[in-house]
Structure 1
Amino acid sequence: MKQPSGFIHPDFPHHVCKLAKAIYGLKQAPRAWFHRFSTFLLSHGFICSKSDASMFIHRSSSGILILLLYVDDIILTGNHSSLLNRFISLFSRQFAMKDLGDLHYFLGVQAVCSSHGLHLSQQKYISDLLLKFHIHTCKPVRTPIAFHSSVSLMDGELLSDPSEYRNMVGALQYLTMTRPDIAYAVNVVSQFMHAPRTTHLHCVKRIFKNLQGTLKYGLFLRASSSISMVVAYSDVDWAGCPDSWRSTIGFAVFLGSNLISWRAKKQPTVSRSSTEAEYSAIAYTVDETS
């Protein structure tokens, strides 16, 4: 790191340059590691997924392998045990790795495997959040958001310290990975991050109260050897936002009986009719399935 061209200040401390170089090196280390690991995968027949840059797929006459990389945490799965063992041995010779066996816990997601399929949940993550935000003793509620609830930007008084609200909503956004039932409610409270108010905080706490009574909820992926059909559902809350009158769309995509994709999203423009909003929701859902 150097000072700007044409500006040399004699009092500029030398240790600041050293610190800046160290920080720059730390930021570049994950990128260098990913480049090295991905180059190794690509050279051994893996293909990077177009939908996720951290997922790599290997197809051959022996079977299929799917690898997911997050920094130095790796998930490797496939449909043939000998193929899995061969590639695990190959990775171990090239990198310093440890095989932890069957998947049980990954980035806050618990995985419980059975003969019927795989159950994914974030039970421990939710329990830790309830303790962190002191909501573990509250009475659970049945729904994450009140029926026909309409929350405005100006409802309630401004919070003196919005940091707790932002931390709570940020934690909830990570929970939508395995909890599609709270996706719409989290979408609503995420719209007030810039200026949260007391009413908005009550909505966030309601979501946590709902989570307290549904700790074991999650996604169940059923095992199936047959090729399944992709089925998608969409819906729209027409002009549901009291501030912008924009609609919120929601969709769920199933591969057979397994839910594989879902989202709640506010439309970028105002729909003049419920029919227009529905068509827009369908177009967005079809685009997700392509």
Structure 2
Amino acid sequence: MCFAHFVSTLGFTHSKSDHSLFIYWHGGDMNYLLLYVGDTILTTAFDALRKSIMARLSSKFAMKNLGPLRYFLGIVVARYAGGLFLSQRKYALQIIERVGMSSCKLSPTPVDRKPKMSAHASIPYEDPFLSRSLIRAL
């Protein structure tokens, strides 16, 4: 049975903006299930609801509970009383390190506000592969 079809039988609907995200309304609370390659993230308003959904998913699919989410796709997840705090600081620092800019000084405006660019006077970028790989990583 297809995962998307099965979760729809549980009451989940596809997000209109992301087909790997499923939304389940329980009373006035929104609950989310995100499927990414082989990983599934489930957030619910109530622990009993989470356990119920996990049990139903486990009846059809091989699953392993890895506990509370801490890191996913370059995002660090921290819990606090009001909810979750998501940070991509670690991921951003890895990109800065990868391009050899970790020793650069901070700047309030990270770009030249008056660029001096010309099609004839510009120096070609020495490693276009690195630039393209960073764009794909984002």
Relative to the length of structure 2, the TM-score reads 0.82
Tell whether 2:95 aligns with 1:129: yes
Distance 2:69 2:126 in 1: 43
Structure 1 residue 41: deviation in Å? Answer: 0.8
Residue 77 of structure 2: aligned partner: 111
Report % sequence identity.
Answer: 35
Mark the CA change 1:90 to 1:59 in structure 2 (over 3 Å): closer, same or farther: same
More helix by share: 1
Partner residue of 1:20? none
Q: In structure 2, what is the Cα distance between the partners aligned to 1:138 and 1:81?
A: 46
What is the CA distance between 1:153 and its match in structure 2? 6.3
Over aligned residue pairs, what C-alpha RMSD do you find? 2.4
Partner of 2:66: 100
Q: Distance in 2 between matches of 1:169 and 1:67?
A: 27
- Structure 2 equivalent of residue 43 of structure 1: 9
Instruction: Show structure 2 runs of 5+ residues with no match.
Output: none
Determine the structure 1 residue equivalent to 2:52.
Answer: 86
Alignment-derived partner of residue 18 in structure 2: 52
SS of the equivalent of 1:75 reads strand
| Distance of 2:18 and 2:81 partners within structure 1 | 28
Q: Match of 1:74, SS?
A: strand
> Where in structure 1 are there 5+ consecutive unaligned residues?
1-34, 175-290
Give the secondary structure class of the aligned counterpart of 1:94. coil
Counterpart of 1:269? none
SS in 2 for 1:156: coil
Relative to structure 1, the CA distance from residue 127 to residue 89 in structure 2 (aligned partners, 3 Å threshold; closer, same or farther) is same
Structure label with greater radius of gyration: 1
- Aligned pair count? 137
Counterpart for residue 34 of structure 2: 68
Structure 1 segments, 4+ long, off by >6 Å, are: none
SS in 2 for 1:139: coil
Separation (CA, whole Å) in 1 of partners of 2:20 and 2:129: 31
Describe the shift of the 1:140–1:45 C-alpha distance in structure 2 as closer, same or farther (beyond 3 A): same
Distance change >3 Å, CA 88–CA 139, structure 1 → 2: same
